[in-house]
């Protein structure tokens, strides 16, 4: 407020007799403060002077004059230093009130309440009007909650939000939060954010160290962040959004929003756990069937007739196919839950083919089909997860066997195509009507005709597409009904993506074989 | 580990609760000349495994009393209690990422039983004991 400001509009509420006699004006504040301080000072000095005089009168009769003066001066100094503190505290009280008001506007953490500006003492002295003016202009300028009522509304809104909300100042001290925020209160009453970032690439602290002071504004989102380590009670899982803004008003530079996703994420995990458990149960009998077939074949090998060999082969092929189906289901579940993890590395097309060649040849032979492999020798290497790609190839060959005619031939070919290696599996079987071709790669989709005549779940093509697309390739089909189908998938040429692949020394130390691995101790010990 | 241990004399502990699967592995391992003990219970399995007298342990994950990953954790951390013993985890249970990483840090191999025939298992045992 300046001297030129228009006359203050007297508030309607201040129309009482008292105010008519002594209308509140900020202009009254300083003269009143001065006169009040002077009065207190004046009275106090007289009391002190009286006390010192009494001491002098009492001591001058007992000691010499100089000793009495010395004692009196000492008493004067002691009393003045004590009374001085009290006097200053009293006279500076209005300044403290104004400071509290400003602390509130700045949003600095404080245990002191906002001064009551309706206190009659303040109104009389002009301090009330001064406080009102400061608070109101702060409210207009900063759009900040300035009254208790308005502040309460904001608090209520924050509490009603379905997310946790934490505000920190540049010193990382929590200056505001709501009750959904994962906050830990230590025995010494210190608050800290209770989030465990050990499973994420970088923590909130790491990120804040990077951005604080270095960037004007920045935001980061984390997913699947737990509040406590596993095996501890009240474990929750959150998505976390952190926002940093340099020199934000009221020191609120860091805002962290947490979204509790426990039900969604762990619901998903329960589902995935169920699939893992079901797979475990299915694999038990498969292990026994495959194992004892292996043992029987070893023990009876020489005594078996060729027909019995044929039967053993069929059992082997079926058991192995069953095992592949279980792997398909597990992969599909992982793919659905975005847990499908591929280990992409440099592999040759030959190594992919070799991985399954014997199995597929046996599979084809038991169903009276033949497979021809036409792979040029000079193909570049590709970036692929060997076991997953073998599953894709096995799925496609399996389909080709299923949907071709007795005695039919299946041709596997490979060629280079625009930075990719394309692998095709062609059969001369029943083919696919063009209307259904586009649905083929959906989960559980099987064409009307095949549903009645040929077994299967329809999951193989779904997961094959998932695996190929996770490699950055494409999968498609060309088919003529009654003439056969050609499924083609592409894999990126290793040289085109090598710089994007993560190389890990740890991976190099493991020899992988499908879902299994064996540690390469020779390499580890080098 | 004592790499000079004669393959034929190598002793192996199988901790596997499925009777058919356990019997199948024990039969194949004995036929190949190994000395084999077989335990069904995870608690007893940990006790026997801690003795350190085995060259190799074939450890299932889904076990009664004590799960295989807990046994593995107790055997290998914080100090390796049985540095001269190799451990092959053999399971049909598909682990989540964190337990997979823990197994990779502690075991010498991880095999999906349904994908491995006894013949292949013997080859891997030989490789791990080599």
* A31-58 tens-digit pLDDT: 888 888 888 888 888 988 998 899 888 8
For A15-19, A158-162, B43-47, which range has the lowest pLDDT when averaged over its residues? A15-19
The whole-number average pLDDT for the span A360-370 is: 90
DSSP A249: G
The whole-number average pLDDT for the span A270-286 is: 80
**Chain A, 184-203: which have a CB under 8 Å from a chain B CB?**
199
- The pLDDT of residue A199 is 62
Closest by CA to A238, choosing from A228, A247, A230, A249, is A228
- The pLDDT of residue A22 is 56
CA B48 to chain A, closest CA, distance in angstroms equals: 24
Q: Is B70 touching A (CB cutoff 8 A)?
A: no
Q: Which residue has the tokens 């740890």?
A: A506
Q: Which residue has the tokens 């509490």?
A: A159
**Contact flag A339-B97 (C-beta cutoff 8 Å):** yes
**Which residues in chain A are closer than 8 Å to B112, comparing Cβ atoms?**
283, 514-516
Q: Looking at the predicted structure, is the pLDDT value of residue B26 above 90?
A: yes
* CA–CA separation, A280 and A258 (whole Å): 36
How far from A325 is each of A320, A329, A330, CA to CA, in Å? 9, 6, 9
Q: Looking at the predicted structure, is the pLDDT value of residue B30 above 80?
A: yes
Backbone angles phi, psi at B87, to 5 degrees: -130, 125
The whole-number average pLDDT for the span A238-253 is: 88
CA B68 to chain A, closest CA, distance in angstroms equals: 14
**Which residues in chain B are closer than 8 Å to A326, comparing Cβ atoms?**
114
**Contact flag B94-A276 (C-beta cutoff 8 Å):** yes
**Which residues make Cβ contacts (< 8 Å) with residue A295, sequence separation at least 6?**
B24, B27, B28, B118
Q: Which residue has the tokens 């890990």?
A: A504
The whole-number average pLDDT for the span A57-86 is: 87
**Which residues in chain B are closer than 8 Å to A513, comparing Cβ atoms?**
115
Three-state DSSP at A411 gives: strand
Radius of gyration for chain A, computed over Cα atoms and rounded to the nearest angstrom: 42
* CA–CA separation, A467 and A461 (whole Å): 10
Q: Is the dihedral of CA A349, A352, A354, A357 positive or negative?
A: negative
Radius of gyration for chain B, computed over Cα atoms and rounded to the nearest angstrom: 13
CB-nearest to A287 from B62, B92, B97 is B92
- B8's tokens: 């034929």
Backbone angles phi, psi at A85, to 5 degrees: -60, -45
CA B56 to chain A, closest CA, distance in angstroms equals: 14
Closest by CA to A384, choosing from A344, A417, A422, is A344
For A183-192, A420-429, A515-524, B89-98, which range has the lowest pLDDT when averaged over its residues? A515-524
The verdict on ipTM greater than 0.90 is no
For A4-8, A152-156, A408-412, B23-27, which range has the lowest pLDDT when averaged over its residues? A4-8
- The pLDDT of residue B124 is 94
- Tell me the per-residue pLDDT of A88-118, one tens digit each, with 9 for 90 and over: 888 888 888 888 888 877 777 777 777 777 7
**Contact flag A514-B24 (C-beta cutoff 8 Å):** no
**Which residues in chain B are closer than 8 Å to A294, comparing Cβ atoms?**
117-119
- The pLDDT of residue A471 is 87
Q: Looking at the predicted structure, is the pLDDT value of residue A67 above 80?
A: yes
- Of residues A272 and A249, more confidently modeled: A249
Mean pLDDT of chain B: 87
- The pLDDT of residue B21 is 93
**Contact flag A516-B24 (C-beta cutoff 8 Å):** no
Q: Looking at the predicted structure, is the pLDDT value of residue A25 above 80?
A: no
Q: Which residue has the tokens 């009280």?
A: A93
- The pLDDT of residue A24 is 66
CA A287 to chain B, closest CA, distance in angstroms equals: 4
Nearest CA in chain B to A275: B94
- The pLDDT of residue A504 is 47
The whole-number average pLDDT for the span B118-124 is: 94
- The pLDDT of residue B1 is 42
* CA–CA separation, A283 and A322 (whole Å): 9
- Of residues B25 and A272, more confidently modeled: B25
% residues pLDDT > 70 (chain A): 82
Closest by CA to A245, choosing from A168, A139, A141, is A168
pLDDT class of A522 with cuts at 50, 70, 90: low
Q: Which residue has the tokens 């209770």?
A: A194
Q: Is A295 touching B (CB cutoff 8 A)?
A: yes
The whole-number average pLDDT for the span A161-169 is: 90
Q: Looking at the predicted structure, is the pLDDT value of residue A410 above 60?
A: yes
Q: Mean pLDDT highest for which of A96-100, A380-384, A504-508? A: A380-384
Q: What distance, in Å, lies between the first and last C-alpha atoms of chain B?
A: 10
**Contact flag A280-B20 (C-beta cutoff 8 Å):** no
Q: Looking at the predicted structure, is the pLDDT value of residue A512 above 80?
A: no
Cβ neighbours of A397 (radius 10 Å) = 23
pTM above 0.80, yes or no: no
**Which residues in chain B are closer than 8 Å to A286, comparing Cβ atoms?**
114
Q: Looking at the predicted structure, is the pLDDT value of residue B4 above 70?
A: no
For A9-18, A288-297, A382-391, which range has the lowest pLDDT when averaged over its residues? A9-18
* CA A410 from centroid of its chain's CA atoms: 48
Q: Is A276 touching B (CB cutoff 8 A)?
A: yes
**Chain B, 16-45: which have a CB under 8 Å from a chain A CB?**
18, 20-21, 24, 27-28
- B130's tokens: 């080599």
Q: Is B84 touching A (CB cutoff 8 A)?
A: no
- A343's tokens: 């280990």
- The pLDDT of residue A2 is 37
Q: Looking at the predicted structure, is the pLDDT value of residue A122 above 80?
A: no
Alpha helices (H) in A143-261, listed in sequence order: 148-160, 204-211
CB-nearest to A290 from B28, B111, B114 is B114
- Tell me the per-residue pLDDT of A10-24, one tens digit each, with 9 for 90 and over: 444 444 444 445 566
A299-324 in b/e form (b: 16+ CB < 10 A) is eeeeeeeeeeeeebbebbbbbbebbb
pLDDT class of A288 with cuts at 50, 70, 90: very high
- The pLDDT of residue A148 is 65
The whole-number average pLDDT for the span A497-506 is: 64
**Which residues make Cβ contacts (< 8 Å) with residue A273, sequence separation at least 6?**
none
**Which residues in chain A are closer than 8 Å to B97, comparing Cβ atoms?**
339, 341
Q: Looking at A350-481, which runs of residues are DSSP E strands?
A: 370-374, 382-384, 409-417, 420-426, 475-480
* CA–CA separation, A138 and B101 (whole Å): 56
Q: Are B37 and B47 in contact (CB under 8 A)?
A: no
Q: Is A55 left (phi over 0), alpha (psi -120 to 50) or beta?
A: alpha
Nearest CA in chain A to B103: A517
- The pLDDT of residue A324 is 83
**Which residues make Cβ contacts (< 8 Å) with residue B24, sequence separation at least 6?**
A287, A288, A291, A292, A295, B118
pLDDT class of A272 with cuts at 50, 70, 90: low
Mean pLDDT of chain A: 80
Q: Looking at the predicted structure, is the pLDDT value of residue B105 above 70?
A: yes
Nearest CA in chain B to A297: B119
């Amino acid at each position: 407020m300046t001297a030129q400001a228009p006359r203050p509009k007297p508030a309607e509420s201040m129309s009482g007799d008292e105010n008519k006699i002594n209308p509140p004006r900020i202009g009254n504040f300083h003269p009143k403060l001065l006169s009040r301080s002077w009065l207190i000072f004046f009275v106090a000095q007289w009391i002190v002077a009286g006390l010192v005089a009494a001491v002098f009168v009492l001591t001058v009769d007992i000691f010499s004059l100089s000793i009495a003066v010395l004692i009196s001066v000492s008493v004067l100094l002691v009393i003045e230093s004590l009374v001085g503190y009290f006097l200053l505290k009293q006279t500076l009280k209005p300044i403290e009130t104004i400071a509290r008001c400003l602390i509130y506007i700045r949003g600095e953490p404080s245990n002191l309440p906002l001064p009551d500006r309706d206190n009659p003492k303040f109104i009389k002295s002009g301090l009330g009007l001064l406080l009102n003016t400061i608070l109101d202009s702060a409210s207009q300028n900063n759009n900040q909650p300035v009254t208790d009522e308005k502040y309460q509304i904001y608090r209520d809104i924050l509490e009603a939000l379905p997310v946790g909300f934490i505000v920190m100042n540049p010193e990382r001290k929590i200056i505001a939060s709501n009750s959904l925020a994962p906050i830990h209160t230590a025995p010494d009453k210190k608050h800290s954010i209770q989030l465990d970032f050990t499973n994420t690439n970088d923590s909130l602290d790491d990120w804040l160290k990077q951005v604080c002071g270095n960037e004007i504004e920045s935001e980061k989102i984390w997913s699947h962040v737990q509040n406590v380590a596993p095996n501890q009670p009240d474990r929750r899982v959150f998505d976390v959004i952190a926002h940093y803004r340099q020199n934000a008003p009221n020191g609120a530079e860091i805002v962290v929003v947490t979204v509790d996703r426990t039900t969604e994420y762990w619901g998903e995990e329960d589902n995935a756990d169920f699939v893992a458990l079901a797979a475990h149960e299915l694999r038990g009998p498969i292990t026994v069937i495959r194992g004892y077939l292996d043992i029987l074949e070893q023990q009876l090998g020489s005594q078996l007739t060729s027909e019995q060999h044929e039967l053993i082969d069929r059992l082997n092929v079926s058991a192995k196919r069953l095992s592949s189906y279980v792997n398909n289901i597990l992969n599909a579940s992982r793919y659905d839950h975005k847990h499908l993890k591929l280990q992409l590395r440099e592999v040759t097309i030959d190594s992919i083919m070799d991985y399954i060649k014997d199995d597929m040849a046996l599979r084809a032979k038991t169903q009276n089909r033949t497979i021809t492999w036409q792979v040029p020798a000079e193909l570049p290497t590709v970036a692929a997860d060997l076991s997953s790609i073998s599953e894709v190839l096995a799925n496609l060959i399996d389909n080709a066997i299923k949907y071709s005619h007795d005695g039919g031939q299946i041709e596997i070919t490979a060629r280079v195509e625009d930075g990719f290696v394309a692998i095709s599996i062609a059969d001369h079987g029943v083919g696919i009507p063009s209307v259904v071709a586009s649905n083929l790669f959906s989960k559980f989709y099987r064409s009307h005709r095949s549903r009645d005549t040929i077994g299967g779940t329809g999951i193989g093509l779904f997961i094959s597409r998932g695996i190929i697309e996770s490699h950055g390739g494409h999968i498609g089909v060309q088919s003529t009904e009654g003439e056969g189908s050609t499924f083609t998938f592409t894999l990126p040429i290793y040289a085109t993506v090598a710089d994007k692949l993560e190389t890990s020394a740890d991976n190099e130390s493991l020899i992988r074989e499908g879902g299994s691995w064996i540690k390469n101790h020779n390499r580890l010990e080098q | 580990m004592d790499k000079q241990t004669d393959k034929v004399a190598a002793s192996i502990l199988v901790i596997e609760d499925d009777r058919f699967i356990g019997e199948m592995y024990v039969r194949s391992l004995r036929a190949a000349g190994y000395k084999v003990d077989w335990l069904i219970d995870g608690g007893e399995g940990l006790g026997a495994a801690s003795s350190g007298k085995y060259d190799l342990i074939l450890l299932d994950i889904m076990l009664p009393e004590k799960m295989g990953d807990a046994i593995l954790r107790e055997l290998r951390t914080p100090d390796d209690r049985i540095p001269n013993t190799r451990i092959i985890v053999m399971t049909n249970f598909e682990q989540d990422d964190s337990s997979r990483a823990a197994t990779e840090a502690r075991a010498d191999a991880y095999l999906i039983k349904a994908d491995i025939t006894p013949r292949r298992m013997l080859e891997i045992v030989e490789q791990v004991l080599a």
